[in-house]
């Protein structure tokens, strides 16, 4: 029970990594609130956790809306009394060259992936400060560590998340709030179906990973679990890479 009595709020928790983190967290004793724009899937994810004996609640959340962040934070506190962990996990990914990327697409990606993380952080800080601390985990990407072609707006957004995390860590260290970023490589979720559906493309991408496979949502969830727990109490402003060794080359 690595998260016994902790309360966690996870954005983008309806499916993919966020949903798997919610299941893992509750299996380690946490109470979890999930927020997502995918309402039906979010409700189903929360119901599944409750059926398995965990404590979970879903509330619709668009991470770009400051008012919706206020409501989900209020709901979490009124339901479970505190917020120990925020996972800023919601994100969107688009493939296009710089020349083919319309400005609206750039704005949308930055709005969800960067402004969304900023607003989530801003929304939980007062509660975390009042209760003596907390752990904020921002899901960046290996795209935030090194460049690559045809997803430049996404890459820029994830680079911003990396530095924003370090600024959060330094600004709120005296309040006992830790902030760390997680940098997944290729992880088998709906987000990158577009890249992996062609078997030849999949084989080619796997060949770039020293550990020889695509990651799973659970590979990332265990890294997030560590940062959410008190096991990482001396870790803040850090970058945890979960990519099968790809960026170590
Ligand atoms: N899958 C990968 O290979 C990979 C690699 C590195 C980083 N990531 C990052 O991991 C995180 C989780 O991605 P995933 O792979 O589970 O993808 P996913 O698409 O399965 O999940 C993302 C979730 O975010 C939600 N979301 C999108 N916009 C939102 C908004 N405005 N408000 C609230 N929720 C919103 C989606 O509805 C979805 O449930 C993302 O931040 C992504 O950028 C993914």
Is 154 catalytic? The answer is yes
Query: Which of the residues 93, 154, 222, 226 is marked catalytic?
Result: 154
User: Is residue 216 within 8 Å of residue 188, measured between CB atoms?
Assistant: yes
Flag whether pLDDT at 13 surpasses 90. yes
How many whole angstroms from 82 Cα to the centroid of ligand 1?
25
Tell me the CATH class for 7-241: alpha beta
* Ligand 1 atom closest to the CA of 220, numbered from 1: 10
How many whole angstroms from 206 Cα to the centroid of ligand 1?
21
Q: At what angle do helices 217-228 and 16-27 cross, to 10 degrees?
A: 50
Flag whether pLDDT at 4 surpasses 90. yes
Nearest protein CA to atom 32 of ligand 1, as residue: 62
For the chain, what is the mean pLDDT? 97
Residue ranges per domain, the chain?
7-241
Q: What percent of the chain has pLDDT over 90?
A: 97
Confidence band (pLDDT; 50, 70, 90) for 194?
confident
pLDDT of residue 197: 87
DSSP, collapsed to helix, strand or coil, labels residue 10 as strand
Pocket test for ligand 1, best of 9, 10, 11, 12 (most atoms within 8 A of CB): 12
Q: Which two tokens stand for residue 90?
A: 């919601």
pLDDT of residue 39: 98
pLDDT of residue 193: 84
Confidence band (pLDDT; 50, 70, 90) for 196?
confident
Q: Which long-range contacts (CB under 8 A, 24 or more apart) does 74-78 make?
A: 75/33, 76/7, 76/9, 76/33, 77/127
Nearest protein CA to atom 25 of ligand 1, as residue: 12
User: Is residue 102 within 8 Å of residue 65, measured between CB atoms?
Assistant: no
Q: Residues 188-212: what's their mean pLDDT?
A: 92
CA distance 92 to 108: 9
pLDDT of residue 156: 98
The answer, yes or no, to whether any atom of ligand 1 lies below 6 A from the CB of 45, is no
How many whole angstroms from 90 Cα to the centroid of ligand 1?
5
Flag whether pLDDT at 207 surpasses 90. yes
CA distance 223 to 227: 7
Nearest protein CA to atom 17 of ligand 1, as residue: 191
CA distance 233 to 154: 30
The answer, yes or no, to whether any atom of ligand 1 lies below 6 A from the CB of 139, is yes
130-188 pLDDT tens trace:
999 999 999 999 999 999 999 999 999 999 999 999 999 999 999 999 999 999 999 99
Flag whether pLDDT at 225 surpasses 90. yes
Nearest protein CA to atom 21 of ligand 1, as residue: 16
Confidence band (pLDDT; 50, 70, 90) for 249?
very high
CA distance 144 to 127: 29
The answer, yes or no, to whether any atom of ligand 1 lies below 6 A from the CB of 9, is no
Q: What is the DSSP string of 78-131?
A: HHHS---EEEE-------B-TTT--HHHHHHHHIIIIIHHHHHHHHHHHHHHHH
CA distance 130 to 94: 38
Q: Residues 189-199: what's their mean pLDDT?
A: 89
């Amino acid at each position: 029970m690595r998260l016994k009595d902790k309360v966690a709020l996870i954005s983008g928790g309806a499916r993919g990594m966020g949903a798997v983190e919610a299941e893992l967290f509750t299996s380690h004793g946490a109470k979890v609130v999930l927020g997502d724009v995918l309402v039906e899937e979010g409700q189903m994810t929360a119901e599944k956790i409750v059926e398995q004996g965990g404590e979970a609640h879903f509330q619709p959340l668009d991470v770009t809306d400051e008012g919706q962040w206020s409501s989900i934070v209020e709901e979490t506190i009124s339901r479970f009394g505190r917020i120990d962990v925020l996972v800023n996990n919601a994100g969107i990914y688009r493939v296009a060259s710089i020349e083919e990327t319309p400005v609206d697409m750039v704005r949308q990606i930055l709005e969800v992936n960067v402004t969304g993380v900023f607003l989530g952080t801003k929304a939980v800080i007062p509660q975390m400060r009042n209760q003596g601390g907390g752990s904020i985990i921002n899901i960046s990407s290996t795209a935030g560590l090194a460049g690559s072609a045809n997803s430049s707006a996404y890459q820029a957004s994830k680079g911003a998340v990396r530095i924003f995390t370090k600024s959060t860590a330094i600004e709120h260290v005296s309040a006992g709030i830790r902030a760390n970023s997680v940098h997944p490589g290729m992880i088998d979720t709906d987000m990158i179906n577009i890249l992996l559906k062609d078997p030849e493309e999949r084989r080619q991408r796997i060949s770039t990973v020293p550990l020889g496979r695509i990651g799973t949502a659970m590979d990332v969830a265990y890294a997030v679990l560590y940062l959410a727990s008190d096991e990482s109490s001396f870790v803040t402003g850090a970058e945890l890479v979960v990519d099968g060794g790809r960026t170590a080359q």
